Amino acid sequence: MPDKPSVLFVCVHNAGRSQMAAAWLTHLAGDRVEVRSAGSAPADQVNPAAVEAMREAGIDISAEIPKVLTVDAVKESDVCVTMGCGDTCPVFPGKRYLDWALDDPAGRGVAAVRPIRDEIRKRVEDLIAEIAPELTA
């Protein structure tokens, strides 16, 4: 793993889970980890319930825009974390792939998104401990 690990979070719409995960990793690791997120079929906007849930945690993702998953984004990442995008994520040798089974926040209110947000934070903290343990010391 290079000095500055790179992580790509992928979900179908890049509007909920992957946006929250990217925001948590950026918030918790700062510029010591390169963070990307994308979707196999990006939505027009980030899920408003996800925006509100993250705002409650002190993180503003309201300006984020869902992005399309590209082969280059995967190639440039050390770790690719998928969240329900199935087989649409390209696989390259030497990359680490994780699949996080998380409920999809699409169509849910903020009360239903909070537990998803909290589970993502826990998984991001565990990921940081693995890829950049000096950040958790």
Q: Would you say 117 and 50 are in contact if contact means Cβ atoms under 8 Å apart?
A: yes
Q: pLDDT (tens digit, 9 = 90+) per residue, 41-56?
A: 899 999 999 999 999 9
E-state strands within 13-59: 34-39
Q: pLDDT (tens digit, 9 = 90+) per residue, 77-101?
A: 999 999 876 656 667 777 888 999 9
The pLDDT confidence band at residue 105, using thresholds 50, 70 and 90, is very high
Please list the active-site residues: 11, 85, 89
Q: What pLDDT shows up at residue 132?
A: 84
For 74-97, letters b (16+ CB in 10 Å) and e give: beebbbbbbbbbeeebeeeeebee
Residues of the chain with pLDDT > 90: what percent? 68
